[in-house]
Structure 1
Amino acid sequence: MKKMFLALCFIVLGSSLALANPAIDKETIYQGATIEALLAGNYDGVATVEKVKRQGTMGLGTFAGLDGEMIVLDGKVYKAARDGKVTVENDNVQTPFYAVKYFSADITKKIEATDLSLDLLKKELDQLRKRNDLPYAIIIKGKFKSIKVRSVGPYEPPYPLLSDAVSEQSVFDYSDVSGRLVGFWLPAYMGNTNAAGYHLHFLSDDAQKGGHVLNLVITDAEIGLDEIPKMHIEFSPYPTKPLEKPDSYKS
Structure 2
Amino acid sequence: MTTRRAPFFLSLFIVFLFALPARAGDQVYQYSTIDALLAGLYDGHLTMDKLVAQGGFGLGTLNTLDGELVVLDGVPYHVKAGGKATVAPGTARTPFAVVADFDEDTILKLDSVQNLEAMNKALEEGLPSRNAFYAIRLDGRFSLVKARAIPGQKKPYRPLAELVKRQVIVKFTNVEGTLVGFWSPAFVKGVNVPGFHWHFLTKDRTRGGHVLDCAFKGLVARVDELRQLKLVLPQGKEFDAVDLVPDRGAELDAVEKNPAKKQ
TM-score of the two chains, using structure 2 as the length reference: 0.82
Which runs of 5 or more residues in structure 1 are unaligned? 1-24
Which residue of structure 2 lines up, in the alignment, with residue 155 of structure 1?
Answer: 153
Kindly provide the amino acid, as one letter, of the partner of residue 176 in structure 2: S
Which runs of 5 or more residues in structure 2 are unaligned? 1-23, 257-263
User: What secondary structure is seen at the aligned counterpart in 1 of 2:158?
Assistant: coil
2:221 aligned to which of 223, 227, 231: 223
Which residue of structure 2 lines up, in the alignment, with residue 103 of structure 1?
Answer: 102
Which residue of structure 2 lines up, in the alignment, with residue 57 of structure 1?
Answer: 56
Pick closer, same or farther for the CA change 1:44–1:115 going to 2, 3 Å.
Answer: closer
1:36 equivalent in alignment to 2:46: no
The C-alpha deviation readout for 1:58-112, integer Å capped at 9, x for no partner, is 0000000001100000000001101321110010000000000000111103345
Work out the number of aligned pairs and report it.
227
Kindly provide the amino acid, as one letter, of the partner of residue 87 in structure 2: V
Q: How does 1:165-204 map to 2 (within 5 A)?
A: 165-204=163-202
Moved over 4 A (4+): none
Which residue of structure 1 lines up, in the alignment, with residue 138 of structure 2?
Answer: 140
Kindly provide the amino acid, as one letter, of the partner of residue 37 in structure 2: L
Q: Are the equivalent residues in 2 in contact too, given 1:107–1:128 (CA < 8 A)?
A: no
The C-alpha deviation readout for 1:116-145, integer Å capped at 9, x for no partner, is 421111121112101111111111112111
Tell me how far apart the structure 2 counterparts of residues 244 and 160 of structure 1 sit (CA, whole Å). Answer: 18
TM-score of the two chains, using structure 1 as the length reference: 0.86
1:206 aligned to which of 200, 204, 207: 204
Tell me how far apart the structure 1 counterparts of residues 244 and 160 of structure 2 sit (CA, whole Å). Answer: 10
Q: Indicate the percent of aligned positions where both proteins have the same amino acid.
A: 35
Which residue of structure 2 lines up, in the alignment, with residue 13 of structure 1?
Answer: none
Tell me how far apart the structure 2 counterparts of residues 84 and 155 of structure 1 sit (CA, whole Å). Answer: 17
Pick closer, same or farther for the CA change 1:215–1:90 going to 2, 3 Å.
Answer: same
The C-alpha deviation readout for 1:31-65, integer Å capped at 9, x for no partner, is 11010111110011230000111000100000000
Which residue of structure 2 lines up, in the alignment, with residue 122 of structure 1?
Answer: 120
Q: State the superposition RMSD in angstroms.
A: 1.6
Per the TM alignment, residue 210 of structure 1 is displaced from its structure 2 partner at its CA by 0.3
